[in-house]
Structures are given as structure tokens and as C-alpha cells.
Amino acid sequence: MVTLRQDQPVEYKARIMMEYTQKEFDFFISHASEDKERFVKPLVKELKRLGFKVWYDEMTLKLGDSLFEEISNGIKNSNFGIVVISKSFLKKAWAKKELNGLINKEIITNSKVILPVWLDIEVDDVLSFSPLLADKVSISVKPNEIDKVIAQILSATNLEIIPRETILEQIDYLRNCTEDERNKYIIDTEARIKNLIYFQEAYYNWFTSDDVFEGDEWDDLLADKKRFELQSSYRLPYNVTYNSEFHPKNGMNEILILAKKWIRQKANAAEIYELIFLIDWYHELDLPYLLWGYPEQSLKDMETHNLCFTAPFTTNPKKIFRRTQIEEGMKEIFASYYSVDEQDISNASFEFLISHVSHEMIVEGSEK
């Protein structure tokens, strides 16, 4: 628990809140050691290959760590708990402790947290161990059915890993879509931008109110519950990236104007970079989600991530931007927002800005 005094400013509360809402792991895996080699290790390997972050004792615990404390943190800092239930698991004294931690989280947050996997076991065995667990929808598998487990997990959690090819398809769509399709893309993009920013405002107003927890202690489970409620209300994916330190809505209007201009293929290099700058640097929002519809945490790898930032310069087939044009636009925008002369921008600052724009999709030619 984190203690928040009533006399602390809301900005301090916002920083504390950020530490307790961004989940470190997608999955926590509760299992018996007897099942590690034959099932759990292959499952973890496949989840990690797909790009997911997994809390798994062999990978996460370090020498000297408190087992109970680390497992509690693993449950708290994971979005879902995969419980591998086998005859060996049911014999473990600690199994019910881990399971109770996940059940409590599920009850408090009013969200689906536990993903039971029955490994070579029957319903009667589970029923005698935990009636609550036996009543949950589960998947029954053999040790060699990892693909079946993965498919069920992805279906149950609505998780998706987005490869580079999906973003390339979006680029091609914007380059060639009809006017009606372009208008629909604008409507969808506007909705994502407004929903994310209005969600941030609502969440900020909630957690900075003095009586939010009816006491002094920060309750991360209650904060999670409220976040899930608001994300559902604003139709946001649970893994969208957001900035809990609320920004004025005039920033939203600037983003909306630039986004429309970009989608309509009327933006120049400086305006496109200003759009990227406002979303990613200035307001620290989820650019892949706002512009392409896929949360940043769902992207398969860094190559796909970088493409999301490069791609806005490539969606207009009638304009080919030179790298020098983009660099000039970036310096101009950075200087105007931070009230410094373009010549005063340090090489380090500029290199950080230019790092988002890779060479692979910027043509070294003149702007047409």
C-alpha cells in the first residue's frame, strides 16, 4: 500500500497512480513444479514468442527474493492469471493461496482474471479442491496441446499480437481507399482520440479527489476496478497506453485537426511530424492505437513499433518527402513548442526526435 496524505498535490498523486496502474506482465502462471518441464516451459516459451510478458517463477525470481512477496507482486502486476491445474497442483499447500489471491482480484475488480487450464485432470478432482474454480469455464488439455491452450487464451482475453504486415496493410488502405472509406477512417480515428482523452480526464478527476479511498491509503485493486470500468465505458482496449497526468482539451482539438488533415492527404511534412510530436512526445498518448487502431502494447516487435511512427509520412502516394524536409519540419515544431531557437536544439535532443523516423520508408527525393 502507498500512503497519500490529503495535503499532497494532485500532481504527486498522479505520479503515484501511474506506478500502480501500468501492468508489468500480461500473464501470471500458477503451476506445480512437476508440470514445469512437460507443459509450463513450452507454454511460456510460446507466449513469449508471441510477444507477451509472463511472470513465471524460474524467469522472475532471483536469489534472495521472498517467494510469498514476489508471487503476490506477480499476481498484482499481471493482467491475467493462468492456473495450470493438475493432480500435482492440487496437492500443493501454497496452491490455494495463489488461487485465492487471483480470486480476490477477480471479485474486487469485477473482471475476468483467472484462466484455468485442466492438465490431465477430471472435474471431480477440481470440485473437491475448489468449487469456485470448478464452476469457471476452463480448457482441458494434454501436455502436448500447447497450441490449443494458446488459442483459447487469446480468445478468452481478446489479446492480439499485431505484426508488421498488419500496419503495412493499413498504410496501403489509406493510400488507396475511396472518399467514403476515408471519411469512415476519420470518424473512427476521432472516436479513438476523444475516448482516450475523455477517459484520462475522468480517471484523473476520480483518483485525485480527496475522498476517493475514504482514507489515506492508496488501494491499487480499487484503482484497477475503476480503470476497467472507465475503459469499458469509453470503449477502450484494456492494454491501451495513456498518460494519467491530465492535459487540457485544447491539445485534443489540435490533434484532431492535424489527424483529419493527414488522413485526407493534405498535410505537409511539418504538419505530419507535429501530429506525431503532439501524440507521442507532448501528450504521451498511445500513437499506434490512435492512428492505426492497435494498442502499442499489442505490437509484435520494435520493428512494428517504429513503422507506426514512420508510416504517417508514407500514406499519400502523391507526396514523397525527403529526409531533409522531415528533419526541418521536426526542428521547426520542436522549437515552436519549447520556445527555443532552432539553432539552439542540442544534437542529443534532435537525435532523440529523429530516432522515430527510420530510413526504410522515407524516399530520398523531392516532395511532389
Q: What is the pLDDT of residues 151-164, one digit of tens each?
A: 777 777 766 778 89
Contacts 24+ apart (CB under 8 A), 43-50: 43/82, 43/84, 43/146, 43/149, 43/150, 46/146, 46/147, 46/150, 47/150, 47/153, 50/150, 50/161, 50/300
Q: What is the pLDDT of residue 258?
A: 95
Q: Let me know whether 144 and 173 are in one domain.
A: no
Q: What is the pLDDT of residue 246?
A: 61
pTM passes above 0.85: no
Q: Let me know whether 305 and 230 are in one domain.
A: yes
Q: Let me know whether 113 and 178 are in one domain.
A: no
The reply to whether 361 falls in a domain is no
Look up 179 and say whether it is catalytic.
no
DSSP lists the bridge partners of residue 141 as 119
Q: What is the pLDDT of residue 43?
A: 92
Q: Which of 42, 118, 46 is nearest to 83 (CA)?
A: 118
Q: Which domain holds residue 65?
A: 24-157
Q: What is the pLDDT of residue 303?
A: 86
Dist. CA 181–CA 174, nearest whole Å: 9
Q: Let me know whether 118 and 216 are in one domain.
A: no
Dist. CA 283–CA 245, nearest whole Å: 9
CB 102 within 8 A of CB 81: yes
The reply to whether 6 falls in a domain is no
Domain boundary pick from 106, 138, 157 = 157
CB 241 within 8 A of CB 289: yes
Domain boundary pick from 105, 127, 157 = 157
Dist. CA 223–CA 236, nearest whole Å: 16
Q: Let me know whether 150 and 198 are in one domain.
A: no
Per annotation, catalytic residue among 24, 69, 70, 98: 98
Q: Let me know whether 334 and 275 are in one domain.
A: yes
Q: Let me know whether 203 and 331 are in one domain.
A: yes
The reply to whether 236 falls in a domain is yes
Dist. CA 303–CA 295, nearest whole Å: 15
Q: Let me know whether 255 and 142 are in one domain.
A: no
Residues of the chain with pLDDT under 50: 1-21, 59-67, 347-350, 352-353, 358-368
Q: Let me know whether 122 and 206 are in one domain.
A: no
Q: Which of 225, 296, 205 is nearest to 14 (CA)?
A: 205
Q: What is the pLDDT of residue 55?
A: 84
CB 269 within 8 A of CB 313: yes
Q: What cell does 228 get? A: 476497467
Q: What is the pLDDT of residue 312?
A: 92
Q: What is the pLDDT of residue 359?
A: 40
The reply to whether 343 falls in a domain is yes
User: Does residue 138 sit in helix, strand or coil?
Assistant: coil
Q: What is the dihedral of CA 173, 177, 180, 184, to 10 degrees?
A: 10
Q: For 158, phi and psi rounded to 5 degrees? A: 60, 25
The reply to whether 7 falls in a domain is no
Segment (H or E) for 3: strand 2-3
CB 124 within 8 A of CB 133: no
Q: What is the pLDDT of residue 367?
A: 42
CATH of the domain at 106: 3.40.50.10140
Q: Let me know whether 190 and 319 are in one domain.
A: yes
CB 219 within 8 A of CB 1: yes
Q: What is the pLDDT of residue 67?
A: 45
Domain boundary pick from 128, 157, 186 = 157
The reply to whether 360 falls in a domain is no
Q: Let me know whether 119 and 144 are in one domain.
A: yes
CB contact set of 193 (below 8 Å; sequence gap of 6+)? 252, 255, 256, 259, 290
Q: What is the pLDDT of residue 101?
A: 67
Q: What is the pLDDT of residue 322?
A: 76
Cα 342 from chain centroid? 34
